[in-house]
RNA sequence: GCCACUGUAGCUCAGUCGGCAGAGCGGCUGAUUCGUAAUCAGCAGGUCGGGGGUUCAAGUCCCUCCAGUGGCUCCA
């Protein structure tokens, strides 16, 4: 029997030798990291006997498939532990996910004490290094074995005739499973249960609700510890925590989902607006402001009433029904329609930064990243068909520039026609193809999110990851053939005929709220100097320098820098510490030495050294970095 | 909206079996006049998320509403 190993090396194996044994024999140095194998490209247990000529490769945690196997094996262990804790629990399924695994159970609602019991049971199993043992059984045997678990019976029934039905034993616990698995539970020392939650029940289904237990798994305890440390770090830079500490924004019980922007947070918003407006000016946009409320009839025209009403705030006034706008598009459409339009006006680019209201379900609210009142850096581009490609190219270019400025890594998702949509399928497909062409032309990688488009248009969504790798959706580019039609928009073309324009709805940063939520976490509250609410803090060494410090502050303020004085009621070291904790980019110490020489001692955030500069030298340095929007102080 | 959990001073949290509401930080006042990540002392600050109930007695037990957290669903 000839077995081909990775790299094309062919070895001879005795028929019946387990895959793991052969791999260990041929690659003894690495054998300890092998948790499963690929047999002719199919993942299998290491215990699988080799019976014919084949290609064989080891799988480790470094392989995506290997990682999935470890995580799925961890899910089995969770199931074993939960059933040991609550015997009447009925396991359903437990797949690996992007960040770990889960296992869903039909069981009474779990409580934290259940997790403690499960952890104990899991530890015991891990200590015992219980092997995962595969058995293939008949359909009848399977039906008998899982007679008390309707979910497993359903999976058995769904298994195509002719496909083997396999079960895996872990000690006394048995689960219906295709496998493969790690050799034994000793591999699961790096398992950690993150938590549990109830699942939304499918409409119409009865009986106890499902409970999901989520976890992560690593090959070693040490890797788990590293992961947990990263998570703890992520919690420390939670924008909700930083926002409170730095007094950027506020949420009150009385107004769930409605952020209060505090003075310092408002500086961030204004700086972002200024940044975006600079682009608007260069790229030929005009800014408008349209009403916050429109009568129902306008939303009937736009399609919102049919497709988006659930998410809208609605007011009844004098017997008429008004909706608070959830998007800016209707207003822009009405402006376009307000008079005859010529092709010479196109592209017409209307930007609007108006507060939008969306009645997001209470359970989905989350700090700044999911709110009920938000402001987008929104614009609508009214285009002729042959202007679309060029505009899309400009937008993708602009996105690259913006996200580079913020040092955010971004990726694109092409979201296609959803189940509920307006208009004709053919138009949708044309729009989707146009967006895809633009993405290809820009040369950036993208993913297709089938069925994730808006109800009126397919879109390119911009996803950013913060520095800890968590993904967020921010900007969006939507190519819309529906709304112009529904609003009856027309322009007179060079041919003298009336045509319907195409509209691109687009945001770059998305919303100030979500963008700042993400960016606060990305920079961990250490804002680039141009964004920092306080750019310079002046620390007089003692009372006799307070006057000079105030003078310096005024001097800095007159150049446009945001500066403040920390008066010497506290010790200098304490004020230095506070400035560092407040993430102030530039801390200037002013004492006798500096007063005499007309200099300042400059401490740059994150650096313990300080540099003596003349006042004009510092001002020039700081202003230059602010003006260039440098990321670091 | 659904499931679970949580809610004590501005913030982070302690509060045992139901028996007098606490600490640190922050704030204020005073002393100190300070040279690059915490000087010292004192003081103020609470409807224990709201309402209802059980009890001689509720921060603590029960019900309910509100808000938050983690998921589900949804989404910028």
Concatenate the DSSP letters of all residues of A64-94 into one string: HHHHHHHHHHHHHHHHHHHHHHSTT-EE---
Say if residue A344's pLDDT is above 80. Answer: yes
Q: Using one digit for the tens of pLDDT, what is the confidence trace for A582-603?
A: 999 999 999 999 999 999 999 9
pTM: 0.92
Question: Å from A209 (CA) to B2 (C1')?
Answer: 10
Band of pLDDT at residue A1, cut at 50, 70 and 90? confident
Q: How confident is the prediction for chain A on average, in pLDDT? A: 92
Does residue A287 contact residue A277 with C-beta atoms inside 8 Å?
yes
Question: Å from A87 (CA) to B64 (C1')?
Answer: 33
Which of A67, A380, A562, A625 is catalytic? The answer is A380
Q: Using one digit for the tens of pLDDT, what is the confidence trace for A545-555?
A: 999 999 999 99
Does residue A20 contact residue A181 with C-beta atoms inside 8 Å?
no
Q: Lowest-confidence range among A86-90, A246-250, A396-400, A556-560?
A: A86-90
* Interface confidence (ipTM) of the complex: 0.94
Does residue A526 contact residue A501 with C-beta atoms inside 8 Å?
no
A177 is annotated as an active-site residue: no
pLDDT at residue A319, rounded to an integer: 92
Q: What average pLDDT does this structure show over A312-337?
A: 95
Band of pLDDT at residue A204, cut at 50, 70 and 90? very low
Say if residue A203's pLDDT is above 50. Answer: no
Q: Using one digit for the tens of pLDDT, what is the confidence trace for A438-466?
A: 999 988 889 999 888 988 899 999 988 76
Which of A104, A114, A378, A582 is catalytic? The answer is A378
3-state helix, strand, coil in chain A (%, to 5): 40, 25, 35
Q: What average pLDDT does this structure show over A339-356?
A: 97
Say if residue A434's pLDDT is above 70. Answer: yes
Say if residue A349's pLDDT is above 90. Answer: yes
Q: What average pLDDT does this structure show over A522-529?
A: 95
Reference A353, options A529, A531, A461, A508; nearest CA is A508
Say if residue A388's pLDDT is above 80. Answer: yes
Does residue A292 contact residue A355 with C-beta atoms inside 8 Å?
yes
Q: Side-chain half-sphere of A79: how many Cα atoms within 13 Å?
A: 28
Reference A310, options A349, A364, A266; nearest CA is A364
- Which nucleotides of strand B lie within 7 A of protein CB? 1-5, 7, 11-12, 26, 31-39, 66-76
Nearest nucleic acid nucleotide to A258, CA to C1' distance: B67
Does residue A212 contact residue A94 with C-beta atoms inside 8 Å?
no
Band of pLDDT at residue A114, cut at 50, 70 and 90? confident
Say if residue A399's pLDDT is above 90. Answer: yes
Residue A475, CB, strand B, below 7 Å: yes
A325 is annotated as an active-site residue: no
Distance CA A37, CA A20 (A): 7
Say if residue A503's pLDDT is above 90. Answer: yes
pLDDT at residue A466, rounded to an integer: 65
DSSP 3-state assignment of A499? strand
Say if residue A208's pLDDT is above 60. Answer: no
**How many C-beta atoms surround the C-beta of residue A363 within 10 A?**
7
**Cα angle, residue A341 at apex, residues A340 and A343 outer, rounded to 5°:** 150
């Amino acid at each position: 029997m000839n077995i081909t190993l990775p790299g094309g090396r062919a070895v001879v194996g005795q028929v019946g030798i387990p895959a793991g044994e052969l791999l260990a024999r041929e690659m003894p140095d690495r054998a300890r990291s092998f948790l499963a194998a690929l047999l002719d490209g199919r993942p299998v247990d290491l215990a699988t006997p080799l019976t014919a000529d084949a290609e064989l490769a080891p799988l480790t945690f470094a392989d995506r498939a290997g990682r999935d196997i470890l995580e799925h094996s961890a899910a089995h262990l969770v199931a074993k532990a939960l059933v040991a804790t609550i015997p009447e629990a009925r396991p359903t399924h437990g797949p690996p996910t992007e960040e770990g695994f889960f296992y869903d159970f039909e069981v009474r609602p779990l409580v934290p004490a259940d997790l403690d019991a499960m952890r104990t049971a899991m530890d015991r199993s891990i200590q015992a290094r219980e092997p995962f043992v595969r058995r293939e059984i008949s359909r009848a045997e399977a039906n008998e074995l899982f007679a008390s678990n309707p979910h497993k019976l359903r999976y058995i029934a769904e298994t195509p005739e002719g496909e083997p039905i396999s079960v895996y034993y872990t000690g006394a616990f048995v689960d219906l499973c295709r496998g493969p698995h790690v050799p034994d539970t000793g591999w699961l020392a790096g398992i950690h249960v993150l938590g549990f939650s109830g699942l939304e029940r499918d409409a119409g289904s009865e009986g106890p609700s499902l409970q999901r237990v989520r976890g992560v798994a690593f090959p070693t305890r040490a890797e788990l510890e590293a992961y947990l440390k990263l998570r703890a770090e992520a919690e420390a830079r939670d924008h909700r925590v930083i926002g409170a500490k730095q007094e950027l924004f506020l949420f009150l019980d009385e107004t769930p989902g409605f952020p209060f922007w505090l003075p310092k947070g408002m500086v961030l918003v204004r700086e972002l607006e200024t940044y975006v407006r600079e682009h608007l000016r260069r790229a030929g946009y005009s800014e408008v402001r349209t009403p916050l409320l429109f009568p129902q009839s306008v939303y009937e025209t736009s399609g919102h009433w049919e497709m988006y009403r659930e998410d809208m705030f609605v007011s009844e006034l004098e017997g008429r029904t008004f909706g608070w706008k959830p998007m800016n598009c209707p207003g822009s459409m009405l402006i376009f329609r307000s008079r005859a339009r010529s092709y010479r006006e196109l592209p017409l680019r209307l930007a609007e930064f108006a507060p939008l209201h969306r009645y997001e379900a209470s359970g989905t609210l989350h700090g700044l990243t999911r709110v009920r009142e938000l402001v987008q850096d929104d614009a609508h581009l009214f285009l002729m068909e042959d202007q679309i490609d060029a505009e899309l190219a400009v937008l993708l270019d602009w996105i690259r520039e913006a996200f580079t400025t913020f040092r955010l890594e971004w990726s694109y998702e092409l979201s296609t026609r959803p189940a509920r949509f307006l208009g004709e399928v053919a138009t949708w497909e044309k729009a989707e193809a146009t967006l895809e062409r633009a993405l290809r032309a820009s040369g950036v990688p993208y993913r297709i999110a089938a069925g994730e488009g808006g109800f009126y248009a397919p879109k390119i969504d911009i996803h950013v990851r913060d520095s800890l790798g968590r993904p967020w959706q921010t900007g969006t580019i939507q190519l819309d053939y529906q709304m112009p039609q529904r609003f009856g928009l027309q322009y007179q073309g060079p041919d003298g005929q009336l045509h319907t324009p195409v509209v691109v709805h687009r945001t770059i940063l998305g919303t100030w709220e979500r963008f700042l939520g993400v960016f606060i976490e990305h920079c961990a509250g250490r804002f680039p100097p141009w964004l920092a609410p306080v750019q310079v803090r002046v620390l007089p060494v003692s009372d006799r320098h307070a006057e000079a410090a105030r003078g310096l502050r005024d001097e800095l303020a007159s150049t446009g820098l945001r500066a403040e004085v920390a008066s010497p009621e506290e010790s200098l070291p304490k004020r230095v510490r506070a400035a560092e904790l407040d993430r102030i980019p530039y801390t200037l110490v002013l004492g006798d030495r500096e007063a005499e020489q007309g200099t300042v001692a400059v401490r740059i955030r994150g650096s313990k050294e300080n540099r003596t500069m003349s006042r004009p030298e510092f001002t020039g340095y700081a202003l230059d970095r602010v003006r260039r929007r440098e990321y670091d102080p």
